[in-house]
Amino acid sequence: MSNTVNHIQITYFSGYIRNWQKLCGELSIALPLSREEREEAILKNAFIKWGTELPQHLFGMFAVALYDENAKKHYMFRDPVGQKQMFYTTAGGELVCSGDIDAVVAGIEKRLNTRMLQQYLFYGYPIGTETFYENVFKMPAGHFAEWDGRSLTLHRYFMPLFEPDTGKTVDEWADEIARVVEEICAEEKADTELPYKESFLSGGVDSSYLLAASDAVCANTVGYDEEGFDESSPARRTAEIVGKGFRVKHISPEEYFERIPTVIDKMGQPLGDASAVAFSLGCQAVGEFAKVVYSGEGIDEFFGGYNAHKREIPKEWTYLTCSHIMNNEVVKSLLRGYDDTLSAEEPVRALWEATEGQEPLARKLTVDISLWLEGDIYLNTDRTSTACGIELHTPFSDVRLFNVAKKIPASYEFMEGQNKYVFRKAAAKLLPEEVAFRKKVGFPVPVRKWLADERFNKPVADVLFGATSQKFFRQEELRDWWTRFLGGEALFWNRIYAVYVFLLWYDLKF
């Protein structure tokens, strides 16, 4: 490696640089190199050439920390939509950063951030830049940071704003999506150092399109005995249509509940998203066959795939992302030490105000990409896949695809009773219409049924009403939820699950 880059030290890197071939050409990096060597060369040479504009030249997923000996500064970079995690602290006058929050807190005194606990109860996931630990922060997606030994400064380089362009028809936008998908998948296919790949597959269009467009050899899904939750039949049909192998990991309630503590431990922070446990079991299963696996995250947030994106909200309301499980009054009734100065709107308000005047869909998608996608979905996929020893690639989260999505008018996204209509039109170029326009199911897990079953819920109740719970939650309120849930009010299941997960995490970490 040239001496001109020796003053740059890569102190942390996690991710995959998808456009590495083009970058090696632009940066005059001689090949062949091992993947580790080429990634180090790319990052060093890119920083020399572009400085803090480095992340705008990388396509893929990345969390990077480097030290410039000449400037005596540390820099951190996180990819535009936050596919890879990055946490940091400057406690003690040193910058410590990692994608694993446990590695960051290992050298400091751990103290619970009760502000985050309150926000977590609102949303069901750790939203925003604070974490469950005092003085430990999450690097926001689309940002870079500078640390000079005294102060840390954050800079935004990417904002997921929408700029609708009515100059193209639906079919023309579908052609543009198909072109970019082909470009992204061609880069993945060209990486011969990763010769064998598999894919996750649900019954939906996103993972189906990815399977058809990619070089994945086999598709993987999870299944359940409970009717209405199992997507393995439509997934199997899709795999047959595109000529790929197919494998199902059946999940039992016993296996699911046994897995929860492991998932929460490896996650690093509480996550009330019940699909994370199922995803972990899926990752463990596919890890027996492949170390690089595709997954279709990003499309719903880029193109408007959730029902919440279609619903009108009163003009005076703030959109609290597509997932929030409690309101201020409910949290206040439950949480001891509730802070009246902290509202559910706080993490969202600035973004919501910044999009004033845009179409309602565009405003919602900006919020969901900035907070929900990286705070819930990517926290789950990144930490879970890493813990299971697989490298998860999410090609549809590539910012080049967002750069198409941001120009599509909202009126094109909801047509003929479908959401993300233009994306489905693009998918229909490789898939039959029965698959491309199949109704969205999501990634359902029958937790609410299992939680109500006395064969499985006694250990949950023991935690809900144990000593740790009494420190944080009003027991009469929690017991009322539990009684009403067992009595058939299914609405309470996600609140109960989120509280249960926090208590498990707290006992594991404190």
Helices (H), 136-225: 170-190, 205-213
Asked if pLDDT for residue 280 goes beyond 70, the answer is yes
Q: What are phi and psi of 364, to 5 degrees?
A: -65, -40
The mean per-residue pLDDT over the stretch 202-216 comes to: 95
pLDDT over 70 percentage in the chain: 99
Q: Distance between CA atoms of 175 and 155, rounded to whole angstroms?
A: 34
Residues 6+ apart with CB under 8 A from 287: 388, 389, 390
Asked if pLDDT for residue 34 goes beyond 60, the answer is yes
Asked if pLDDT for residue 390 goes beyond 60, the answer is yes
pTM value is 0.95
Q: What average pLDDT does the structure give for the chain?
A: 95
Residue 441's pLDDT band (cuts 50, 70, 90): low
> Lowest mean pLDDT: which of 126-130, 180-184, 412-416?
412-416
The per-residue pLDDT for 3 is 58
- Quote helix, strand, coil % in the chain, to nearest 5: 50, 15, 40
Strand partners, 97: 88
Contact 497, 98 (CB under 8 A): no
The mean per-residue pLDDT over the stretch 317-332 comes to: 94
Q: Distance between CA atoms of 167 and 151, rounded to whole angstroms?
A: 46
The mean per-residue pLDDT over the stretch 63-77 comes to: 97
Contact 401, 298 (CB under 8 A): yes
Residue 27's H or E segment, with its range, is none
> Lowest mean pLDDT: which of 157-161, 227-231, 271-275, 413-417?
227-231
Specify the pairing of strand 292-294 against strand 198-200: parallel
Residue 446's pLDDT band (cuts 50, 70, 90): very high
The per-residue pLDDT for 78 is 98
Q: Distance between CA atoms of 510 and 344, rounded to whole angstroms?
A: 26
Residue 1's pLDDT band (cuts 50, 70, 90): very low
Q: Distance between CA atoms of 289 and 291, rounded to whole angstroms?
A: 7
Contact 8, 48 (CB under 8 A): yes
Asked if pLDDT for residue 129 goes beyond 70, the answer is yes
The per-residue pLDDT for 443 is 60
pLDDT tens digits along 136-170: 999 999 999 999 999 999 999 999 999 999 999 99
Residue scoring higher pLDDT (4 or 146): 146
Query: What is the DSSP secondary structure assignment for residue 203, as one 8-state letter?
Result: S
The mean per-residue pLDDT over the stretch 25-50 comes to: 96
